[in-house]
Amino acid sequence: MGVRVLYIEDDPASRKLVERTLTHAGYHVVTAERGLEGIDVARSQEPDLILVDINLPDISGREVTTVLRRDERFADTPIVALTAQTLTEQRELALAAGVSGYLTKPLNVEALPDQVRFYLDGGRDHIDTKTLRGAQTRYAQDLVVKLEARIRDLETVNAELQRLDKMKDTFIQLTAHELRTPFTLVQGYNRLMEDNPRFRDLLRADGDLRLLVEGMTHAIDRMNSIIDEILTISRIMTNRIDLSVGPTDLGNVVVKVLKGYLPALQERRLSVHFNKAEWPERMLADWELMELTMSNLISNAIKYTPDDGQITLRAQVQDKQVWFSVKDTGIGIDTQAQTIIFERFNTMHDTELHSTSKTAFRGGGIGLGLALCKGIIEAHGGRIWVESSGYDPDRCPGSEFLVMMPLIANQSTM
């Protein structure tokens, strides 16, 4: 490939003109419309010469030059500034930023190929040292002023984002609360119906009706746990979680959770490896929240592991810490997604795939489970992370969720 020229210019007409002229003269021309885009193109294509307009919409041509000159690949690349201003000050500032020379706009199209050749052959525009020093100081001052303005803008935007984030939390919380009231009524009526002897007789006599009622009860339970999850997560996220710390037998917590999932484990033919003796009998933690954590980790292991897989639960006490993990032989997790899955409402795959079941393969979930686990473990002064070699539903590399937390919950982190 011939000599490559990168032209960074936001005006389409100039871009076209220069591109046509230089291509005609035998150069290979690549273009970019913005400063940051130009830097990216320069890094990926490593052109032999860069023509850069001074006034660009994002960062100026001078700043593009400063960034590129820091990269040793561009230490000697001719960078030529195009400036519409005939002010000498503009030229000096460009030279202070490290350009090899400048051309004034409108460009003299006929002279352009020769001018490009001049810089490619090592030509440079001169500026005397004293003027250069003054220009460098002014350029540095300009940059700092610009930086200050950007930081102030970002602070304003950040404050606004935080306000919106808080509004969203409040909205979620209010919605969950509002749903809870009519929902408690639905649950109550359902219970009254189930407890009614005449209705029970009906159910015994009619298998179809029994199935309908079972389906409804199941959906009510599921809805209940979703509302609970949302309320707990919004408490955790707004730092209003009160740990109710007490003696907690973590092994027993696991036993209880596993019992709840026994039907699902059997139906899906998943084997569980668990040795209660490894698990601490005495720790100071919030029993209920630890149960919620184990329940989420285990239900995820069930959900994301195909039938006939294995789930391994291990624990070890070291000094004043407990380490435990839930490992599965499931579909695994993309390495890049391994931190974002702990964020709220983050589900890695198409939510359309989700069914309403908490245990069907790849079913259920609105992406709150792991955010809850993280909030709970961190509230106890611990940390949670995942290890998996990647997402591969065919090979099933598996995932392991690991937790490290103090045996005595550190409430001062609240």
347 binds ligand ADP (CB under 6 A): yes
Strand partners, 181: none
d(CA 388, CA 68): 38
346 binds ligand ADP (CB under 6 A): yes
Q: Which residue is nearest to ligand ADP (CB)?
A: 365
Stretch that binds ligand ADP, among 25-33, 110-118, 123-131, 299-307 (CB under 6 A): 299-307
- Please give the size of the binding site for ligand ADP, defined by CB under 6 A: 22
As given in the structure block, the two tokens for residue 214 are 């079972």
Query: Residue 62: which of 153, 140, 151, 158 has the closest Cα?
Result: 140
d(CA 256, CA 401): 19
304 binds ligand ADP (CB under 6 A): yes
User: How many CB atoms lie under 10 A from the CB of residue 32?
Assistant: 23
Instruction: Look at the alpha carbons of 367, 373, 375, 376 in this order and tell me if their dihedral is positive or negative.
Output: positive
Contact residues for 275 (Cβ-Cβ < 8 A; gap 6+): 314
Q: Which of 5, 18, 94, 333 contacts ligand ADP by CB under 6 A?
A: 333
Q: Which residue has the tokens 């970019």?
A: 32
Between residues 310 and 347, which has the closer beta carbon with respect to ligand ADP? 347
Give Cα 309 distance to the centre of its chain.
29
Stretch that binds ligand ADP, among 70-78, 142-150, 279-287, 325-333 (CB under 6 A): 325-333
Rounded least distance, CB 332 to ligand ADP, Å: 6
399 binds ligand ADP (CB under 6 A): yes
Q: Which of 349, 378, 402, 406 contacts ligand ADP by CB under 6 A?
A: 349
Tell me the longest C-alpha to C-alpha distance in the chain: 103
Between residues 190 and 347, which has the closer beta carbon with respect to ligand ADP? 347
Rounded least distance, CB 362 to ligand ADP, Å: 8
Between residues 115 and 357, which has the closer beta carbon with respect to ligand ADP? 357
Rounded least distance, CB 331 to ligand ADP, Å: 5
341 binds ligand ADP (CB under 6 A): yes
Rounded least distance, CB 266 to ligand ADP, Å: 19
Query: Residue 333: which of 269, 402, 237, 272 has the closest Cα?
Result: 402
331 binds ligand ADP (CB under 6 A): yes
Rounded least distance, CB 397 to ligand ADP, Å: 10
Rounded least distance, CB 259 to ligand ADP, Å: 20
176 binds ligand ADP (CB under 6 A): no
Query: Residue 112: which of 89, 87, 85, 80 has the closest Cα?
Result: 80
Name residues contacting ligand ADP, limited to 239-298 (CB under 6 A). Answer: 296
Rounded least distance, CB 354 to ligand ADP, Å: 7
Residue type, 51: L
Cβ 97 vs Cβ 65: under 8 Å: yes
Q: Please tell me the chain's helix, strand, coil percentages from 3-state DSSP, rounded to the nearest 5.
A: 55, 15, 30
Strands (E), 93-236: 101-104
Between residues 98 and 369, which has the closer beta carbon with respect to ligand ADP? 369
Contact residues for 90 (Cβ-Cβ < 8 A; gap 6+): 54, 83, 102
Site pattern 355..394 for ligand ADP (x: CB under 6 A): ----------xxxxxxx-----------------------
Output DSSP code: residue 362.
T
328 binds ligand ADP (CB under 6 A): yes
Q: Which residue has the tokens 């219970």?
A: 191
Q: Which of 132, 172, 348, 396 contacts ligand ADP by CB under 6 A?
A: 348
Rounded least distance, CB 89 to ligand ADP, Å: 56
The torsion angles phi and psi of 141, rounded to 5 degrees, stand at: -65, -45
Q: What angle do the packed helices 369-379 and 287-303 form, to 10 degrees?
A: 150
Between residues 125 and 378, which has the closer beta carbon with respect to ligand ADP? 378
Q: Which of 233, 301, 384, 403 contacts ligand ADP by CB under 6 A?
A: 301
Residues that bind ligand ADP (CB under 6 A): 296, 300-301, 304, 328, 330-333, 341, 346-349, 365-371, 399
